[in-house]
Structure 1
Amino acid sequence: MAMTNEELRTDTAQLAERLRQIRIEQGRNPDPEPRPNVVDIPLSKALVDRLQPLKVIAVKYAGVLASGQVTRIDVSKLAKYEEAAKVLRYSKGFWCGLHALGAGAFLQIIKSVNEAIDSGTTEELDINGLMRKVHFSIGLMTKDSALSHDIKDYEKEHGRGAAVMAEEDVDTAIAEVLPEINEYEEDDRYE
């Protein structure tokens, strides 16, 4: 039987209170602050571009899963994508942040499959479920018209072409913002 709107509100409030209590028991802030958005759109756009090869890897990995196989991927070779996704999670752009979510989710899928392979528990993996998750991650990593909303909003405020960052400036910009992001990552006040 379907729940009424009032029952849903009550259920949501009860779940929120349970989460607050769990956080209190763990000695954490019961009401986390929203994650700060500190990465400007030009850097976000450059990071989205840098994550495009990861999308290609995800598509190929989906093909491997579709054949019913699992394979171990050396995640150390994907460290640059992990760092790009980490920085992009703090983007001022909503759509850029979704791109980071897709990249991070795909990297987490790879790690969980690697763990299953290492521990010899691959038979417990739900290959169809993994394929769906990879497909969803690929969808979030797709550069489409939604991403242009972040860019257009930024250019309205800063002028046409302002959302473009020279490739040689990207690493410097990452190095400048990374200490602040690492501080946020260590601090448990945020979502």
Structure 2
Amino acid sequence: MAMTNEELWTDTAQLAERLRQIRIEQGRNPDPEPRPKVVDIPLSKALVDRLQPFKVIAVKYAGVLASGQVTRIDVSKLAKYEEAAKVLHYSKGFWCGLHALGAGAFLQIIKRVNEAIDSGTTDELDINGLMRKVHFSIGLMTKDSALSHEINDYEKEHGRGSAVMAEEAVDTAIAEVMPEINKYEEDDMYE
């Protein structure tokens, strides 16, 4: 049965209060800190570029789903994309962050299908729904004019070519921001 808007607002308020109480019981600040924006545009752009092969995987996976099949993907081989998406969630750029959202959503789809295959419940999967979600994820990972504007705005402020980061510097830059990301994520756990 569908909920009314008022019921949704009440339910959301109750959930928010429950989460606040959990945080208080754990001795933490009742209201979590906002997600820090610690990943600058050059690193964000490099991570978006690193995610482009993952987008190709998503397109191929959508083709598999379109044929009515499901297949298991070894998620351990996608670890570099998972890390790139995790770091990109903390981008100072809005459009760069959307790439992270798309990659993260696609990873969740893969994991959900893998779980269904492992448990023998693939007949319960909504293949059409999964295809729509993959399509949406691909759209979020598309390099478009909005991303170009974000990079151009950065370069107007910092100089032409300043948004380009050498590939060998990317891993070092990731290592530099990870302590702050991990600190935030530790504080954001509710288990």
TM-score, length of structure 2 as denominator length: 0.86
1:61 matched residue in structure 2: 61
Quick one: structure 1 residues 153 and 11, their matched pair in 2 at CA, closer, same or farther if it must change by over 3 Å? farther
Gaps (5+ residues) in structure 1? none
How far did residue 122 of structure 1 move? 0.6
1:3 offset after TM fit, Å?
11
RMSD: 3.0
- What's the offset of the Cα at 1:156? 2.1
1:173 deviates by: 0.9
**Farther-moved stretch of structure 1 (25-34 vs 42-51):** 25-34
Asked if the contact 1:42/1:165 (under 8 Å) is kept, the reply is yes
Deviation at 1:103, TM superposition (A): 0.3
Residue 21 of structure 1, CA deviation: 5.7
CA deviation vs aligned residue, 1:118-171 (integer Å, no higher than 9, x gap)? 011111111111001100000000001011122122112211111011111111
Q: Identity across aligned pairs (percent)?
A: 93
- SS of alignment partner, residue 143 of structure 1: coil
CA contact (8 A) 1:32 1:190 kept: no
**Are 2:35 and 2:90, in contact at CA under 8 Å, matched by a contact in 1?**
yes
Deviation at 1:10, TM superposition (A): 7.8
Determine the C-alpha separation between the residues in 2 that align with 1:133 and 1:123: 18
Q: CA deviation at 1:30?
A: 3.8
Residues 125 and 10 of structure 1, relative CA distance in 2, 3 Å threshold? closer
> In 2, are the aligned partners of 1:33 and 1:189 still within 8 Å (CA)?
no
Q: Structure 1 residues 190 and 42 mapped into 2: Cα distance closer, same or farther (>3 Å)?
A: farther
Paired residues in the alignment total: 191
Structure 2 CA distance for partners of 1:122 and 1:14, relative to 1, 3 Å: same
Distance in 2 separating the partners of 1:24 and 1:61 = 43
Aligned counterparts of 1:41 and 1:27: Cα–Cα separation in 2: 35
- Partner Cα separation in structure 1 for residue 110 and residue 91 of structure 2: 24
SS of residue paired to 2:156: helix
Distance 2:119 2:7 in 1: 43
| C-alpha displacement of 1:176 | 1.4
Q: Provide Cα deviations, 1:19-69, integer angstroms capped at 9, x if missing partner.
A: 656766777644322200000100000000000000000000000001111
Aligned counterparts of 2:94 and 2:140: Cα–Cα separation in 1: 12
Aligned partner of 1:187 in structure 2 is 187
Q: Can you give the 5+ residue segments of structure 2 that lack an aligned partner in the other structure?
A: none
Cα distance, 1:188–1:66 mapped onto 2, change above 3 Å: same
Find the residue that maps to 1:51 and give its secondary structure: helix
User: For the structure 1 residues 157 and 189, does the alpha-carbon distance in structure 2 shift closer, same or farther, using more than 3 Å as the test?
Assistant: farther
In 2, distance between residues paired with 1:87 and 1:186? 15
Judging changes above 3 Å, is the alpha-carbon distance between structure 1 residues 175 and 19 closer, same or farther for their aligned structure 2 residues?
Answer: closer
What SS does structure 1 have at the residue aligned with 2:36? coil
Aligned: 1:174 with 2:174: yes
